[in-house]
């Protein structure tokens, strides 16, 4: 990088003297380049190649990435940057900086959210007119806004999974003390997660972090979620984009029930007799099944020593993700990780039950995971992320074996999955979407649902 050293990390930087001009869009005026200030969490100098001297709505098509956009009160565009895709949002300087720093803090707390990259201020047009500052975030690969998660109509079970994912995200945010203030499906991105969905916060401009949230703050966030989701579902209902039999108001209530059940399981007190101490481990197992690890319990006994009161004090999400990463180095969503771990355990039991767990896990990666991923034709590799492909393949193989009453070999199942399922899915890594957010084409096959943890053959 030519010119004086730039302070990229959380320091506003004036690039006016660096001689770096946008390529492919004409030369930006010196005044526009000279006024630009960037607060950035990345050292990617190609940020300077983008046409910051143009309003977002006037950006050249050559810069833009054709990806689905959710509903937003701001102008948002997706653009190419160093082989990846970024989201650029025009807003005020105060809002952009607040959201940038809030997202960075949430990332440090390991909360599912988009990655903040930069805030740019001091933007000017060729004639010197001021332009709105922008917030730049990295696009979450294989994620989609909720309106893009259907082909013709949004089915009830898909909608239920979306709302459950939203409730889990809200619980995770509240556990770390984050008050969202604008909870909605529109402010969330969703990734497929082994028959369910994983939700990621994408808009934090109204959010605030506290040491701990009061019950009133949590309930107010929950009420905002209920009202916003009801409105979003009414909009879809009027457009004929959800099944007629779905009641938007009744369906929006699901987030209240889902949230409260999960919150009670994670934080609620439990009392039992001293002789029922096995319930401590039972509680841990239930939390693990929900994807949470327990770091500490608060246990109190009654004065006469006849009963115990138990309450989880600290819980961390990502139990199965961490185990999979530790055993194999694979990074996956929570439900995907649970499914892959189940297959890994079945593989070990069927092939090498006496082998060390870690060694068996690496054999599974070499003999199951990697061959499946390598077998996917290049033109289909953008359909789904690898962990989701392997999960769906394992389900497909299980159903084939059950249907044909035989152990279908892995290679045969892979070819069947590619030909009969994967080829007919739309490309979720780079999905073209019309401005009305309604995709064209035939309905996609759905492999939702999870078979038993064990399958005919783990190999």
Q: Considering 227, 246, 265, which residue would you say is the last residue of a domain?
A: 265
Reported in sequence order, the residue ranges of 176-306 that DSSP labels E, i.e. its strands, are 178-179, 188-193, 196-201, 208-209, 270-273, 292-301
Higher-pLDDT residue of 213, 278: 213
219 and 165 both lie in a single domain: yes
- Quick check: is 450 in a domain? no
As a whole number of angstroms, the distance between CA 16 and CA 39 comes to 14
Here the tokens at position 259 are 């949230």
As a whole number of angstroms, the distance between CA 96 and CA 119 comes to 6
* The pLDDT of residue 217 is above 70: yes
- Quick check: is 370 in a domain? yes
Instruction: Tell me what the mean pLDDT of segment 64-80 comes to.
Output: 76
Residue 47 DSSP SS3? helix
What percent of the chain clears pLDDT 70, i.e. is strictly above it? Answer: 78
Q: What is the pLDDT of residue 28?
A: 55
Q: Are 136 and 118 in contact (CB under 8 A)?
A: yes
- Quick check: is 6 in a domain? no
156 and 235 both lie in a single domain: yes
pLDDT digit string (tens) for 228-252?
999 998 988 888 877 788 888 988 9
Q: What is the pLDDT of residue 439?
A: 37
Higher-pLDDT residue of 406, 315: 406
* The pLDDT of residue 89 is above 60: yes
Q: Are 64 and 78 in contact (CB under 8 A)?
A: yes
Please give the angle made by the CA atoms of 184, 185 and 187, to the nearest 5 degrees.
70
Instruction: Tell me what the mean pLDDT of segment 314-340 comes to.
Output: 82
Instruction: Tell me what the mean pLDDT of segment 428-456 comes to.
Output: 39
Q: What is the pLDDT of residue 70?
A: 55
260 and 276 both lie in a single domain: no
197 and 254 both lie in a single domain: yes
Residue 426 DSSP SS3? coil
* The pLDDT of residue 188 is above 80: yes
23, 96, 121, 343 from 117: Cα distances, Å: 21, 11, 14, 37
What percent of the chain clears pLDDT 90, i.e. is strictly above it? Answer: 33
When divided into structural domains, the chain yields a total of 4
pTM: 0.71
Residue 286 DSSP SS3? helix
The most confident of the ranges 221-230, 275-284, 287-296, 384-393 is 221-230
254 and 150 both lie in a single domain: yes
Q: Are 310 and 297 in contact (CB under 8 A)?
A: yes
- Quick check: is 194 in a domain? yes
254-265 burial code (b ≥16 CB/10 A, e <16): bbbebbeebbeb
Instruction: Tell me what the mean pLDDT of segment 47-69 comes to.
Output: 85
126 and 154 both lie in a single domain: no
HEC-encoded secondary structure of 153-186: CECHHHHHHHHHHHHHHHHHHHHCCEECCCCCCC
Which residues on neighbouring strands pair with residue 134, listed in sequence order? 90, 120
Integer distance in angstroms from the first to the last C-alpha of the chain? 50
Instruction: Tell me what the mean pLDDT of segment 67-75 comes to.
Output: 67
195 and 135 both lie in a single domain: no
DSSP string, 62-91: GGB--------SS-EEEEEETTEEEEEEE-
Instruction: Tell me what the mean pLDDT of segment 319-331 comes to.
Output: 85
47, 57, 62 from 23: Cα distances, Å: 11, 19, 11
Closest CA to 103 of 52, 171, 41: 41
- Quick check: is 393 in a domain? yes
Average pLDDT of every residue of the chain: 79
247 and 340 both lie in a single domain: no
Higher-pLDDT residue of 279, 68: 279
284 and 350 both lie in a single domain: no
181, 218, 311, 314 from 214: Cα distances, Å: 14, 6, 18, 17
**What is the residue range of 94's domain?**
13-139
Instruction: Tell me what the mean pLDDT of segment 131-147 comes to.
Output: 89
- Quick check: is 447 in a domain? no
CATH number at residue 152: 1.10.510.10
Residue 301 DSSP SS3? strand
Which residues on neighbouring strands pair with residue 271, listed in sequence order? 309
Instruction: Tell me what the mean pLDDT of segment 140-166 comes to.
Output: 77
Higher-pLDDT residue of 30, 47: 47
* The pLDDT of residue 273 is above 90: no
Instruction: Tell me what the mean pLDDT of segment 9-33 comes to.
Output: 43
Higher-pLDDT residue of 319, 176: 176
| 134 confidence band (pLDDT: 50, 70, 90) | very high
| 5 confidence band (pLDDT: 50, 70, 90) | very low
211 and 290 both lie in a single domain: no
Q: What is the pLDDT of residue 72?
A: 63
Q: What is the pLDDT of residue 306?
A: 67
52 and 148 both lie in a single domain: no
* The pLDDT of residue 22 is above 60: no
Any idea which residue has 């201020």 for tokens?
121
190 and 230 both lie in a single domain: yes
| 133 confidence band (pLDDT: 50, 70, 90) | very high
């Amino acid at each position: 990088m030519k010119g004086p050293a730039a302070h990229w990390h959380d320091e506003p930087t004036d690039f006016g003297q660096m001689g770096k001009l946008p390529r492919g869009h004409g030369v930006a005026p010196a005044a526009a380049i000279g006024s630009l200030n960037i607060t950035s969490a990345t050292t990617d100098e190609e940020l300077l190649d983008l046409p910051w001297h143009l309003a977002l709505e006037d950006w050249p098509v050559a810069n833009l990435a054709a990806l689905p956009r959710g509903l937003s009160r701001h102008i948002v565009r997706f653009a190419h940057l160093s082989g990846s895709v970024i989201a650029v949002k025009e807003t005020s300087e105060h809002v952009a900086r607040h959201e940038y720093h809030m997202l960075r803090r949430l990332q440090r707390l390991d909360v599912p959210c988009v990655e903040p990259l930069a805030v740019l201020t001091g933007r000017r047009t060729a004639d010197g007119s001021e332009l709105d500052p922008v917030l730049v975030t990295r696009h979450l690969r294989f994620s989609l806004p909720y309106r893009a998660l259907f082909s013709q109509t949004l089915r009830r079970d898909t909608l239920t999974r979306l709302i459950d994912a939203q409730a889990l995200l809200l619980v995770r945010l509240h556990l770390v003390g984050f008050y969202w203030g604008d909870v909605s499906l529109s402010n969330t991105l969703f990734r497929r997660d082994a028959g369910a969905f994983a939700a990621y916060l994408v808009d934090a401009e109204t959010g605030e972090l506290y040491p701990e949230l009061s019950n009133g703050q949590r309930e107010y966030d929950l009420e905002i979620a209920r009202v916003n989701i009801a409105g979003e579902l009414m909009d879809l209902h009027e457009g004929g984009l959800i099944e007629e039999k779905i009641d938007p108001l009744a369906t929006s209530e699901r987030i209240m029930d889902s949230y409260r059940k999960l919150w009670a399981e994670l934080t609620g007190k439990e009392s039992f007799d001293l002789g029922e101490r096995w319930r401590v481990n039972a509680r841990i197992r239930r939390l693990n099944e929900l994807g949470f690890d327990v770091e500490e319990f608060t246990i109190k006994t009654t004065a006469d020593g006849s009963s115990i009161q138990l309450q989880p004090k600290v819980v961390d999400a990502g139990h199965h993700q961490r185990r999979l990463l530790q055993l194999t180095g694979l990074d996956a969503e929570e439900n995907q990780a649970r499914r892959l771990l189940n297959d890994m355990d079945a593989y070990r039991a069927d092939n090498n039950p006496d082998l060390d767990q870690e060694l068996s896990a690496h054999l599974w990666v070499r003999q199951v995971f990697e061959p499946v991923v390598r077998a996917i034709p290049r033109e289909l590799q953008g359909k789904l992320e690898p962990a989701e492909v392997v999960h769906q393949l394992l389900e497909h193989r299980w159903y084939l074996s059950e249907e044909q009453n035989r152990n279908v070999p892995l290679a045969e199942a892979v070819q069947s999955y590619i030909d009969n399922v994967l080829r007919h899915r739309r490309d979720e890594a780079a999905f073209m979407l019309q401005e009305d957010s309604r995709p064209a084409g035939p309905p996609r096959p759905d492999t939702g649902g999870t078979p038993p943890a064990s399958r005919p053959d783990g190999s």
